[in-house]
Amino acid sequence: MSSAIDRSMDEAKTSKFHYKVLFISGLGFFTDAYDLFIIGVVILLLPYAGWHNISIFYKGLVTSTALLAAVIGSVVFGRLLDYSGRKAIYGFELVALIAGSLGSAFLTPVNNIFMLLFWRFLLGVGIGGDYATSSTIMTEYSSTMNRGKFVGMIFSMQSFGLIAGPLISIAFLSNYVSPYITWRLLLAIGAIPAIIVIYFRRTMPEPPRYTADVRGDYKLAAKNLKTFAGLDSTGSKGKTINAPWYVLFRDRKFLLTLIGTAGAWFLMDWAFYGNSIMSNSILSFLVPSTVSGIHSIIMTNEYSAIIFGVAAFPGYWIAAFTIDRIGRKPVQITGFAMMAISFGIISAFSFLTTYRFLDYFLLLYGISYFFIMFGPNVTTFVYPPEVFPISTRGLGTGISAAGGKTGAFIGTLADTIILSITGLHFLMGMLAIIAAIGLILTIVLLPETKRRDLGETSGEARYAEWK
């Protein structure tokens, strides 16, 4: 039996407060996407800015270090989210993100690859923390009918970050801003959105669900519900949820669910991040041999902006606005299936990766991007906070995100090396297999959670202790 607090929030109409939470959380995800993907442009600019002899290994390490750090950040912040409370933690992940962004831009000497790696690592810790905190908090504030839409919209703010990176790069380079200045500005800009919202995150109230169901303070929860959401709550206090953190590993059902959420995210991020961060290198295969230097970088950024804008952007938002009607599982299945097909076609017909067949390649590459977004990129973010008990929701979400960022780290590092050794067609074949495995994992291990209350989807009733 859920408390009156839970029922009030499950049945709540959309309010200004929901959009406030959406803005505060979503702007962080704009920053996350921008910071993660702009490094692909920066790594191409560094040789023109006085950096010498960066090996393939170090290129892969620079582009993937933030992803490895995000694994740590998502688990640590996820656990703290459950242990200390949502309000106590929210906002500190942005402190790490801002420090890492500004440090990598202004405190990294030319040719000091290790200092750049340090600041990118700190940046990644903050990004990982944002994955664990924002989805959990938005989930707990949302109603049953609109939960998928609001959590999906937060994640879809990534789409603006994806497009902003190439466009800003083109603006600098086309106006002949020196590469010595451009690479630093590109890294520094990522701190601006985080700075804008950090105060609002630190002053957000504790979600009433957590206050009532975990802390057992029903009176404070009802007060916050009225003050910040304008909702009245009368009725039963319900239960206090006492699911310890290790239940995720000892309970077979939760363990299989965790394998499903973390595993699908791992496979999706391998395909997505390796593909996206490496997009400038991948698309460089399509640049005519007569184009070189900075002009080559500008052209690959133009291709990236077109693909992100035409394919990725609508995929994000169509998923966000339809996920509560179609369901999480069908969207994720469709996305993985279409990824496997499009990657497989590019791999099977290697001539598609030549400039002569540019239109066909961009079409297939764009289709893959659309269905990554209208598919597992959004759903793997929506799923975790819905399927774990509230007292372990942060950790379950954090571990799931850590699975994703582990895949992103491995994919980015491996794809850099694979692309340089074997060529694009082999890389695409490998990504097709990865997507097919994700499809199977989704079918076997993940439930459908659309328009079901959190108490039901998370299995909290099995760990309720009546008071």
Q: What is the pLDDT of residues 6-25, one digit of tens each?
A: 888 888 888 889 999 999 99
385 contacts 135 by C-beta, under 8 angstroms: yes
Distance, CA of 249 to CA of 258 (rounded, Å): 8
| Mean pLDDT, residues 412-436 taken together | 83
- Higher per-residue pLDDT: 363 or 404: 404
| Mean pLDDT, residues 381-392 taken together | 95
239 contacts 7 by C-beta, under 8 angstroms: no
| Mean pLDDT, residues 426-441 taken together | 93
| Mean pLDDT, residues 62-67 taken together | 89
User: Is residue 1 scored above 50 in pLDDT?
Assistant: no
Residue 99: which CATH number?
1.20.1250.20
User: Is residue 216 scored above 50 in pLDDT?
Assistant: yes
Residue 102 falls inside a structural domain: yes
Residue 463 falls inside a structural domain: no
Residue 326 falls inside a structural domain: yes
| Mean pLDDT, residues 175-196 taken together | 95
Residue 252 falls inside a structural domain: yes
Distance, CA of 146 to CA of 158 (rounded, Å): 20
Distance, CA of 160 to CA of 271 (rounded, Å): 20
| Neighbour count for residue 354 (Cβ, 10 Å) | 13
80 contacts 89 by C-beta, under 8 angstroms: yes
Residue 298 falls inside a structural domain: yes
Q: What backbone phi and psi angles, to 5 degrees, belong to 239? A: -130, 165
- What's residue 279's pLDDT? 57
- What's residue 344's pLDDT? 92
Task: Place 230 in a pLDDT band, splitting at 50, 70 and 90.
Answer: confident
257, two tokens: 């669910």
Among 365, 370, 389, residue whose Cα is nearest residue 456: 389
Q: Structurally, how many domains does the chain consist of?
A: 1
Distance, CA of 383 to CA of 257 (rounded, Å): 10
Contacts of 247 (CB under 8 A, 6+ apart): 254, 389, 392, 463
Q: What backbone phi and psi angles, to 5 degrees, belong to 148? A: -60, -40
Residue 466 falls inside a structural domain: no
Distance, CA of 241 to CA of 211 (rounded, Å): 11
- What's residue 467's pLDDT? 38
If you write DSSP's letter for every residue of 127-145 in order, what string do you get?
HHHHHHHHHHHHHHHS-TT
The highest-confidence range among 124-133, 163-172, 218-227, 424-433, by mean pLDDT, is 124-133
Among 213, 132, 118, 82, residue whose Cα is nearest residue 385: 132
Distance, CA of 271 to CA of 435 (rounded, Å): 7
Among 377, 61, 391, 345, residue whose Cα is nearest residue 211: 391
Pairing of strands 464-466, 239-241: antiparallel
Among 248, 237, 235, 244, residue whose Cα is nearest residue 213: 237
User: Is residue 238 scored above 90 in pLDDT?
Assistant: no
Residue 465 falls inside a structural domain: no
Q: Which long-range contacts (CB under 8 A, 24 or more apart) does 424-428 make?
A: 424/282, 424/285, 424/346, 424/350, 424/353, 425/346, 425/347, 425/348, 425/350, 425/353, 426/347, 427/282, 427/347, 428/343, 428/344, 428/346, 428/347
Residue 382 falls inside a structural domain: yes
Average pLDDT, whole number, for the chain?
89
Q: How far is CA 54 from CA 48, 418, 458, in A?
A: 12, 17, 47
- What's residue 308's pLDDT? 83
- The model's pTM: 0.90
Number of H helices and E strands in the chain, helices first, is: 24, 2
Region of poorest pLDDT, from 42-46, 289-293, 304-308, 319-323: 289-293
Q: Which domain holds residue 72?
A: 4-458
- What's residue 462's pLDDT? 66
List 466's β-bridge partners, or say none. 239
If 0-12 CB within 10 Å is exposed, 13-18 middle and 19+ buried, where does residue 233 land? buried
Among 281, 279, 270, 280, residue whose Cα is nearest residue 420: 281
Distance, CA of 395 to CA of 384 (rounded, Å): 10
Among 350, 351, 318, residue whose Cα is nearest residue 335: 318
Task: Place 299 in a pLDDT band, splitting at 50, 70 and 90.
Answer: confident
- What's residue 362's pLDDT? 80
49 contacts 100 by C-beta, under 8 angstroms: no
List 464's β-bridge partners, or say none. 241
- What's residue 465's pLDDT? 46
Residues in the chain: 467
27 contacts 196 by C-beta, under 8 angstroms: yes
